């Protein structure tokens, strides 16, 4: 029994290999995202490698990550820097709106943050899968989000669970922080990538051209 359990082709061994791959990806993502301005390229690289992992390619994880990081660097940076500016500006607006009890400001800030969340949910998975300009990626991310609202809300709910757990159970924060550093972001991104596969398959059902040539998702 134990011999079959640790057989390289057993489900247990493949599962542990997948977990180790996610740990490696998470650590690489955290390290490469430390400057903050590089979160975009790191996230695009993460989703690109996760696409290969889902297809069963678990080897040479670090090499694939850094290759994808370099490949997506310019485009992801052009997307991420404006998004970062929007997030910071909206965060300050929401903070001062709450301090001054300005309902309209709070409403506008929350609405802008929701639009940013739609972009961030889809833009890097799209970038990891398709060749396109950064403007087209941002436009397509919004179109795909609006066109797949229930799935997007499901993804948001999955990501919100750890945050909610920290708010409801403060004693979990330390443990969840350790999990986040080791495997949290990559595992949630892995689930997100799985949930987005049917979306991409529908986009790739050709009306004219079956190739994934980076044309607009619209």
In a domain, 32, yes or no: yes
Position 102 scores a pLDDT of: 79
In a domain, 184, yes or no: yes
In a domain, 127, yes or no: yes
pLDDT tens sequence across 14-36:
888 889 999 999 999 999 999 99
Q: Which candidate, 28, 17, 16, places its Cα nearest to that of 185?
A: 28
pLDDT tens sequence across 113-151:
999 999 999 999 999 999 999 999 999 999 999 999 999
The residue-averaged pLDDT of 86-109 equals 84
pTM equals 0.87
The count of structural domains within the chain is 1
Report H helices in the chain.
Answer: 2-5, 11-33, 39-54, 61-100, 103-129, 134-147, 149-168, 173-179, 185-203
The parent domain of residue 52 ranges over 2-203
State what percent of residues in the chain have pLDDT above 90: 61
């Amino acid at each position: 029994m134990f011999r079959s359990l640790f057989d390289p082709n057993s489900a247990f061994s493949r599962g542990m290999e997948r977990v180790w791959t996610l740990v490696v990806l998470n650590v690489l993502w955290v390290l490469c995202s430390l400057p903050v301005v590089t979160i975009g390229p790191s996230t695009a690289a993460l989703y690109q490698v996760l696409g290969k992992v889902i297809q069963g390619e678990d080897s040479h994880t670090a090499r694939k990550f850094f290759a994808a990081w370099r490949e997506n660097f310019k485009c992801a940076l052009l997307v991420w820097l404006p998004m970062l500016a929007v997030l910071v500006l909206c965060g300050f607006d929401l903070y001062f709106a709450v301090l001054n009890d300005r309902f309209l400001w709070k409403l506008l800030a929350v609405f802008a943050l929701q639009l940013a969340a739609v972009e961030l949910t889809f833009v890097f998975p799209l970038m990891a899968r398709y060749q396109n300009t950064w403007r087209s990626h941002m436009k397509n991310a919004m179109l795909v989000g609006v066109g797949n609202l229930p799935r997007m809300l499901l993804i948001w709910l999955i990501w919100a669970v750890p945050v909610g757990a920290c708010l409801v159970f403060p004693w979990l924060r330390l443990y969840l922080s350790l999990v986040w550093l080791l495997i949290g972001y990559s595992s949630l991104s892995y689930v997100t990538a799985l949930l987005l596969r049917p979306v991409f398959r529908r986009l790739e059902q050709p009306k004219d051209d079956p190739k994934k040539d980076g044309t607009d998702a619209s």
